Structure 1
Amino acid sequence: MPLSYQNQMDMLKDILSNHQSDCCGTVAECEQVERLIKSMLATGFQSEQMTSTLQHVYEYTQAAKNCQHLDQHIQTNQQNLSQWVSELTTLS
């Protein structure tokens, strides 16, 4: 059974919030975020601003899963993570 758009948004915000609060994460989480974003963008339900935020998060996960020090990458992006979670909450 596929996840609804709102379920996907909630899962995305949960993962990003965990990265932000825990200052750590896994490659599997980054890959999950990528799958969520691809699915969400495919629906076309989001505004231009939401699309922009989703694309920034996607770029973050691309860099994260390809870097040697994932936790350091997450720590470096603390401000971005906080901003993205806030934007996703406001825009959804």
Structure 2
Amino acid sequence: MPLQVNDQISLLADILRSHQLDQCGSDSECQQLERLTNSLLQNPQTPLELRDTLIAIQTYGQNGGQAKSLEHHIIQSNGDLNQWMSVIDQM
């Protein structure tokens, strides 16, 4: 059974919150971020006000998967993570 939009957003938030709090992550989490954002961006039920944030998160996941140091990438993205979590928490 496919995840509903709210479930996908919750999963996305869990991964981002983990990156934000732990200041570390994995390649598989970055790949999951890409899959989730891609799915949400293609779903017409996704709130329009999330689209720009989802695109930014998608780019973050792609760049994280290509980064020499994922931890460094996460630390550098801390401000963005805070902003994205704020947007998601308002949903």
TM-score when normalising by structure 1: 0.93
2 CA distance for matches of 1:77 and 1:16?
11
Report what 2:82 is aligned to.
82
Query: Shift of the alpha carbon at 1:57?
Result: 0.6
Is the 2:5–2:46 contact (alpha carbons within 8 Å) kept by the matching residues of 1? no
2 CA distance for matches of 1:78 and 1:41?
23
Percent identity of equivalent pairs: 35
Report what 2:59 is aligned to.
59
Is the 2:16–2:85 contact (alpha carbons within 8 Å) kept by the matching residues of 1? yes
1:4 aligns with 2:4: yes
2 CA distance for matches of 1:74 and 1:20?
7
Aligned residues: 91
Query: Shift of the alpha carbon at 1:69?
Result: 0.4
Q: Extract structure 1 runs of 4+ deviating beyond 6 A.
A: none
Query: Shift of the alpha carbon at 1:56?
Result: 0.5
1:43 aligns with 2:43: yes
The RMSD of aligned alpha carbons is: 1.0
TM-score when normalising by structure 2: 0.94
Query: Shift of the alpha carbon at 1:89?
Result: 1.6
Tell me which of the two structures has the higher relative contact order, counting C-alpha pairs closer than 8 angstroms and 6 or more residues apart: 1
2 CA distance for matches of 1:30 and 1:17?
13
Q: Which runs of 5+ in 1 are unaligned?
A: none
